[in-house]
Structure 1
Amino acid sequence: MSLSFFLKAYLRIAAIVVVVALVCALLFHGINSVRSQYWHEQASAPAMRWLAATPDPLSNYSWLPPRFDLRQSSPVSLGLSPVIQERLGYGQVVSVRSDAGRLAYVLLPDQSVLALTLEQPERDLALLNSILVRWHLDNVPARQRHTLAPELGDALGVQVHQIEKTEDLPDQNVLQRLNSSGLTLFEHDDGVLRALMRLSDGALVQLIMPPPFNPWEWPVLLLLTGLVGGVIALGLYLGLRFVDGNLRKVESVAIRIARGELGARVEAEDGALVSRLALSFNTMAEHIQRLVQVQQEMIHAVSHELRTPVARIRFGVQMIEPGTSQAVLEKQLSGIDGDIQELDELIDEILTYARLEQGGPVFTLREASVTDIVQQVVAEQKLIREGIEIESRFSEGSERWSISDVEPRYIHRAVQNLVGNAARYAAGRVQVSCHLDEDNCRIDVEDDGPGIPESEWEKVFTAFARLDDSRTRNSGGYGLGLSIVRRILYWHGGQAFVGRSEHLGGARFSLVWPRRKAPDGLS
């Protein structure tokens, strides 16, 4: 996996995570703003309706206005918006946020508005309910409290009960605060706010408020989980759809190639997830197309190349008749033997070329001396190329770097093909030069023959190629030698190319390959 692809994928995922987090935060805040508004109105509604149902609440509960800023006024005087006035007209209790905390409003029968200030909404509301409960319980006989307490609790939306058992008492700290004030608020282990009050006759009454507002209720969590899951599912769907689309491109091209459209290729944008697959597939397709093309060319060329020696053998066999003199018979048999040798050499060349073209030979590169291989080839060619001066030259320092990672047999074959080819067309001289350094190996084979026109330089490496000058079939060969040389160098990670010899004036063939194989090796 490339670093650029990893960074792009990482940034995209990070961007999605940030967007999802922001959406969840905004959604969480928005939902809980509405829920909080609803909770405060529902929590304060029983007490506000109780006060609204009481005749002249400011006088009957004269101790409430100083503590809770309880006041009665017209909607206009209180500066209420039309929306709040409309809601009050529907009989709703409205709670709004203010600088002092929260303000609760309720509409009285005379169309005035009763306003109550809660600086700490939950605690002040618990304190208000406790004061109302204590005041009413203190004003009835003790025998009526068991009946009145539940009624007050139902009306105020709380639970009210008298403590009669020691085990129902809260801890000592709460009791100490109760002794000093007669009414105290405390939070139970379940997080619910409670009030403990002492009546005038010493009886203890406990008031339990509704559960506090919880922003992490399960419907909210379920909604956020659904949102995150939906975004993940959408992202996964889009990602898989993108990958599937690219894979379908490869599949479509594979089907076209199977139908015979060998020129079909996968078009993939840079940085795409399957760009490497597309590149490998296109490389494979090009290789297959090339192999098929080479196979077709070989079928046509081989049929042509085999026709001549086979025709000569047939003609030679037909010329052998009973009564033919021994000298004529030996001549005919010698010609047939030469044609058979030619066929054998041609088959060897074809098989070698086929192995190199169809994925390369199975060999392992190993350390060998390039200079020794060159000297061996030169010595062998001197023996069979009489009349041609063949010399080898090594640049300064070549012996130091002569050890290279090669397959000696194939490098020997490549150099032998070039030297033999040069000797075949040379006027009288062939020069083999080695230039070896720390990184590369280079072998140049030059001759003083007619050379090769520049327009034909690439053609000479084509299998069964024929030139129109002196380098033709009349001079021998089958047109496979240079093709074999190029493929040998290809499997060594190098190149073979042709040029003009500045020193001798003829052709110059060069072999260049890395002195050491790549870390992953070639095999």
Structure 2
Amino acid sequence: MPLKFFLKLYARLIGLTFLILLLCAALFLGVNSVREQFWQERFSAPLLRWIAATPHPQQQYHWLVSFYDFGVASPGDLPFSDVITERLSYGQVVVLETSIGQQVMIRDGQGRILNLRFGDIYTDVAEATALIARIHLDNIPVEGRNEMMEQVSGALGVEMAPVQDQSALPGPDVLERVSERGISLYHPPSADRAHVLLRLDDGTLVDLAMPPPFNPWAWPVVMLLLTVAGGVLALALYLALRGVDSNLRAVESVAIRIARGEMGARVDAGDSRLVSRLAVAFNSMAEHIQRLVGVQREMIHAVSHELRTPVARIRFGIQMIESASSPEALQKQLDGIDGDIQELDELIDEILTYARLEQGGPVFALQETSVSDIVRQVVSEQQMTRPRHSIEADIDEESERWSLSDVEPRYLHRAIQNLVGNAARYADHRVRVRCRFDEDNCRIDVEDDGPGIPEEDWEKVFTAFARLDDSRTRTSGGYGLGLSIVRRILYWHGGQAFVSRSEELGGARFSLVWPRKKPTEPAL
């Protein structure tokens, strides 16, 4: 995977994570601000309604003034909005955030606005509730306290019970505060709510359990955050995979078109980095298949034409055998048939070699071999078969030093042999094989003093079954496959073959160039 693509994908994942966290944080704060407002009003409502139901709360609970800034005002004295005024008119408890705490208000039966100010609404409401409960319990005889506890508990929304088991008492620090103030707020380790311990005038201890405090991580909030995070991830994944799926469908469509015979169909990768490499590889494969199909059509056409001539000569030779009038004439026809059969065998060998190289190539076992030795061997073999020509090898000392190269000896021998044989076929007298090797590359030039090749035909000579002359007799030699085989052999070596004009000899110059060391992969 390319590093740039990985970093880009990683940055997108980081950005998506940050977006989800930011969205969840904003949602968490927004939802909890509404939930906390609702909880504050619901939590303080029993205390405020108890106070509002008292005929003269300022006289009966005069200590509320000093503790919680308790006040009574008419609706016109307080500059509230229409929404707050309407809510108060419905008998609802309203909590307003101020710079010094929460202002809690309720409207009593006489239309007055009762308001208290709490620094911490949970602690202050718990202590105020405990003080009111203690006042009423102190005024009730012992035998009526249980009934009063039930009434006060139901009205104030708390749970009260006398402490009868000594093991249920809290720690000494709580008891010390109770002895000093008469009440003490504490949080038992195993409980999720606050408790207030009261000491009545007769020394009776009463435990008052408050409702649970506000929980910002309630399960509906957690489920909402998980749903939102999952939804954003699902949306991002859908948008990402939609583009990938669209590109994969494009590749699938092109594959179907190629299967139907539209060999020119290609994949347009567009801007997608995920499938661009797949599109390049697919298009390369499609081009290779198209070329192979084209080569197959040309081969079938050319082979049928090439086979027709020797087969016709064999048929003619057989007919001539029947009318042979002497042993010499019979032997001549038999020799001709044998030559035609040998020509067919050579043609089949050329066709099989070319097909093997075109359709994926042989399994090359590259090994370090002296290229100069291969060249000398080819020159020696060709000189023996063509004694009337001067075939020489030109290898300087510097090239000899770098002659060891990673090659497939058998196929490289075949490529050089095809070039030297082709040069000798058209040369007047002289063929030269020049080797120039260095640390990185190997180059072999096969030159002759023949008529040469017109520049406009330099590329055509490497086409299968292409010959620049119109003769197709045995004397002209060749089937138009030799140079095609040479180019494919060089292709599988990671190099190339090309033709030009020899400046010194005046004829054609065929050149082979390939990397001296094993290439990583052949260029397509």
> TM-score surpassing 0.5?
yes
CA 1:426–1:195 in 2, change beyond 3 Å: closer, same or farther? Answer: same
Contact residue 466 and residue 472 of structure 1 kept, 8 A? no
Deviation (angstroms), 1:327: 2.6
- Which stretch shows the higher mean deviation, 240-249 or 11-20? 240-249
Question: Residues of 2 paired with 1:450 and 1:242: CA distance?
Answer: 59
Distance in 2, Cα, partners of 1:107 & 1:321? 136
Tell me the equivalent position of 2:207. Answer: 206
Instruction: Report what 1:197 is aligned to.
Output: 198
Paired residue type of 1:455: E
In 1: Cα distance, 2:33 partner to 2:108 partner: 28
Matches within 5 A, 1:225-236: 225-236=226-237
Specify the alignment match of 2:265 in structure 1: 264
Determine whether 1:324 maps to 2:325: yes
Separation (CA, whole Å) in 1 of partners of 2:261 and 2:117: 86
Structure 2, unmatched stretches of 5+, are none
| Partner Cα distance (2:59, 2:97) in 1 | 27
State the alpha-carbon separation in 1 of the partners of residues 319 and 469 from structure 2: 34
C-alpha contact (below 8 Å) 1:316/1:336 kept by paired residues: yes
- For 2:267 and 2:41, locate their aligned partners in 1 and report how far apart those are by CA, in whole Å: 65
Cα distance, 1:129 vs structure 2: 0.6
Q: Distance in 1 between matches of 2:35 and 2:342?
A: 100
Deviates more, 1:308-317 or 1:406-415: 308-317
- Letter matched to residue 416 of structure 1: Q
Task: Please state how far the C-alpha of 1:76 moved relative to its aligned partner.
Answer: 4.1
Match status 1:307 vs 2:308: yes
Q: Deviations over 1:366-423 (max 9, x none)?
A: 1111110011111111112222222211244222221111110000000011111111
Contact kept? 2:440, 2:517, Cα under 8 Å: yes
Partner of 1:307, secondary structure, is: helix
Any stretches of 5+ residues in structure 1 without a counterpart? none
2:56 is matched with 56
d(CA) in 1 for partners of 2:473 and 2:217? 91
Shift of 1:223: 1.3
- Residue-by-residue CA offset, 1:271-314 (whole Å, 9 max, x unaligned): 43222222222222222211111111111101111111222222
- In 2, the alpha carbon distance for the partners of 1:296 and 1:439 equals 38
Aligned residue runs from structure 1 range 373-388, under 5 A: 373-388=374-389
- 1:399 counterpart SS class: helix
Once the two structures are TM-superposed, the CA of residue 352 in structure 1 deviates from its matched residue by 0.8
Match status 1:489 vs 2:490: yes
Give distance in 2, aligned partners of 1:472 and 1:9.
Answer: 65
- Matches for 1:163-202 after TM superposition, within 5 Å: 163-189=163-189, 190-202=191-203
Q: Structure 1 residues 364, 56: CA separation in 2 closer, same or farther (over 3 Å shift)?
A: same
Q: Where does residue 250 of structure 1 map in the other structure?
A: 251
Does the aligned pair in 1 maintain the 2:407–2:493 contact within 8 Å?
Answer: yes
CA deviation string 1:82-125 (max 9, x = no partner) = 22111111111001111111110111233221110001111111
Aligned to 1:419: 420
Amino acid aligned to 2:142: A
* Contact in 2 for aligned 1:69/1:116 (Cα 8 Å): yes
Q: Aligned letter for 1:317?
A: I
Do residues 35 (structure 1) and 16 (structure 2) align?
no
Q: Distance in 2 between matches of 1:61 and 1:407?
A: 108
Instruction: Give the CA RMSD over aligned residues.
Output: 2.1
> CA contact under 8 A between 1:446 and 1:501: conserved in structure 2?
yes
Separation in structure 2 between the aligned mates of residue 362 and residue 307 of structure 1, nearest angstrom = 33
Segment of structure 1 superposing worse, 155-164 or 75-84: 75-84
Q: Distance in 2 between matches of 1:107 and 1:501?
A: 114
The match for 1:508 is 509
Task: Tell me if structure 2 keeps the 8 A contact 1:377–1:412.
Answer: yes
Structure 1 residues 173-182 or 403-412, which shifts more?
Answer: 173-182
In the alignment, is the contact (CA less than 8 A) between 1:150 and 1:161 conserved in 2? no
CA contact (8 A) 2:493 2:519 kept: no
Q: Deviations over 1:26-81 (max 9, x none)?
A: 11111111110011001111111111111121122111101100111234433222
Please report how far the alpha carbon of residue 259 of structure 1 lies from its aligned counterpart in structure 2 after TM superposition.
1.4
Alignment of 1:55-454 (within 5 A): 55-189=55-189, 190-322=191-323, 324-454=325-455
Q: Structure 1 residues 506 and 388, CA, compared in 2 at 3 Å: closer, same or farther?
A: same
| Superposition pairs of residues 468-487 of structure 1, within 5 angstroms | 475-487=476-488
Give the TM-score normalised by structure 2. 0.95
For residue 401 of structure 2, give the secondary structure of its aligned residue in structure 1. coil
Q: Any idea what the Cα deviations from partners look like across 1:464-514, whole Å, max 9, x if unmatched?
A: 112259999863211100000001111111111111222222211111111
Separation in 2, partners of 1:477, 1:337: 18
Shift of 1:248: 2.0
Residue 160 of structure 1 contacts residue 208 of structure 1 at CA under 8 Å; is this kept in 2? yes
Inter-partner Cα distance in structure 1 for 2:236 and 2:117: 49
Whole-angstrom distance in 2 between the partners of 1:456 and 1:154:
109
Alpha-carbon distance in structure 1 between the residues aligned to 2:235 and 2:195: 47
Structure 2 residue aligned with 1:10: 10
Q: Could you give the per-residue CA deviations for residues 341-376 of structure 1, whole angstroms, max 9, x where no partner exists? A: 222211111111111111111331111111100111
CA contact (8 A) 2:494 2:522 kept: no
C-alpha deviations, 1:161-200, integer Å up to 9, x for none? 2222222211222112212222111111213111112111
Question: Once structures 1 and 2 are overlaid, which stretch shifts more, 265-274 or 299-308?
Answer: 265-274
Q: How much has 1:216 moved relative to structure 2?
A: 0.7
SS in 1 for 2:428: coil
Q: State, as a whole percentage, how many aligned pairs show the same letter.
A: 62
Contact 2:424 2:448 in 1 (8 A): yes
Q: CA deviation at 1:133?
A: 0.8
The CA distance in 1 between the partners of 2:110 and 2:504, in whole Å, is 122
Distance in 1 (CA, whole Å) between partners of 2:469 and 2:418 is 21
Counterpart-to-counterpart distance in 2, 1:74 and 1:520? 93
Distance 1:154 1:323 in 2: 136
What is the CA–CA distance in structure 2 between the aligned matches of 1:10 and 1:261, rounded to whole Å? Answer: 39
For residues 71 and 469 of structure 1, the distance between their equivalents in structure 2, rounded to whole angstroms, comes to 121
Question: Is the CA contact 1:450–1:470 (under 8 Å) kept in the aligned structure 2?
Answer: no
Instruction: Report the 3-state secondary structure (helix = DSSP H, G, I; strand = E; otherwise coil) of the residue aligned with 1:236.
Output: helix
The answer to whether the 8 Å contact 2:243/2:272 transfers is no
Q: Counterpart of 1:475 in 2: which secondary structure? A: coil
Deviation for aligned residue 1:451: 1.5
**CA distance in 1 between partners of 2:336 and 2:198 (Å):** 133
Q: Distance in 2 between matches of 1:270 and 1:512?
A: 37
* Worse overlay, 390-399 or 121-130: 390-399
Normalised to the residue count of structure 1, the TM-score between the two structures is 0.95
Q: Do the aligned partners of residues 470 and 497 (structure 1) sit closer, same or farther apart at CA in structure 2, a change above 3 Å counting?
A: farther
Does the aligned pair in 2 maintain the 1:425–1:471 contact within 8 Å? no
Structure 2 CA distance for aligned equivalents of residues 438 and 409 of structure 1: 23
Distance 1:470 1:26 in 2: 87
Q: How far apart are the structure 1 equivalents of 2:520 and 2:303?
A: 39
Q: Determine the C-alpha separation between the residues in 2 that align with 1:521 and 1:459.
A: 23
Name the CA distance, whole Å, in 1 between partners of 2:132 and 2:93: 19
